[in-house]
Structure 1
């Protein structure tokens, strides 16, 4: 990622986010949860350290659930317009471990040029008419633990 932070917001602009630092991965996710959250057949996500994500404006609403991987996962979205912003697995104390930022919330989509996904997850659920991203690591489920 460039030295300048990426900026994003929800649809109604009541929540803004700033993303600094390098993502651990840029991932296409084909899981059921991402399809339901986005209303599309996959999502493009920046997987980042929680310390690299700053929020301002309104506080996001939370939607906790057990994810396809069996972990407790919380999705954060705007309570006014419903835009999904980010999510992530949480530990026993409810602390977000890593932020999965939805790339569609970035204000300037030019920042996505050259940000080809490095990984695809839940490929077992990928629509058969969607081709794998050339050069991206492929996982039938979640990324292996680091």
Structure 2
């Protein structure tokens, strides 16, 4: 994939970030943890590998919540407004970016709907994206 620089931030504007890395994936995730953390039927995340995450504003407002029994699930957010923001996942050596936190256009289109079998009946649908029970092979 291509090397990109993406910028984003939170709803209140306190937290701002910049990510430089190799664009890998753009997934809509329907797992129960993503639904609970977002309050919606799915989350939309952009994933970059070989990436650097730099907070250009408000880093002291960034907080994390790690689900104790989860291997990798951590939610990173602004402590002022609660908006999810980009986070580095050390175990996987990539950065996960909530697509809605990005400024401007995203240079990749959604590629798949993951954890599809975990979705709720009222979750969004209506396109031809591939669907996977878990992570794509």
**TM-score band w.r.t. shorter chain:** 0.7 to 0.9
Q: Name the CA distance, whole Å, in 2 between partners of 1:46 and 1:14.
A: 21
Deviation at 1:48, TM superposition (A): 1.1
Q: Give the RMSD, CA atoms, in angstroms.
A: 2.7
- Counterpart of 1:124 (choices 96, 117, 126) is 117
Aligned length: 134
Structure 1 residue 17 corresponds to structure 2 residue 17: yes
Contact 1:48 1:99 in 2 (8 A): yes
Contact 2:114 2:134 in 1 (8 A): yes
| TM-score for the superposition, normalised by structure 1 | 0.74
Deviation at 1:49, TM superposition (A): 2.3
1:34 is aligned to: 34
Structure 1 residue 47 corresponds to structure 2 residue 41: no
Aligned to 2:23, the other structure's residue is in SS state coil
Structure 1 residue 76 corresponds to structure 2 residue 76: yes
Structure 1 residue 105 corresponds to structure 2 residue 101: yes
1:61 is aligned to: 63
Could you give the per-residue CA deviations for residues 111-145 of structure 1, whole angstroms, max 9, x where no partner exists? 04x732112210002244633642x442202344x
Q: Name the CA distance, whole Å, in 1 between partners of 2:51 and 2:21.
A: 9
Structure with the higher strand share, 1 or 2: 2
Gaps of 5+ in 2: none
Gaps of 5+ in 1: none
Contact 1:75 1:88 in 2 (8 A): no
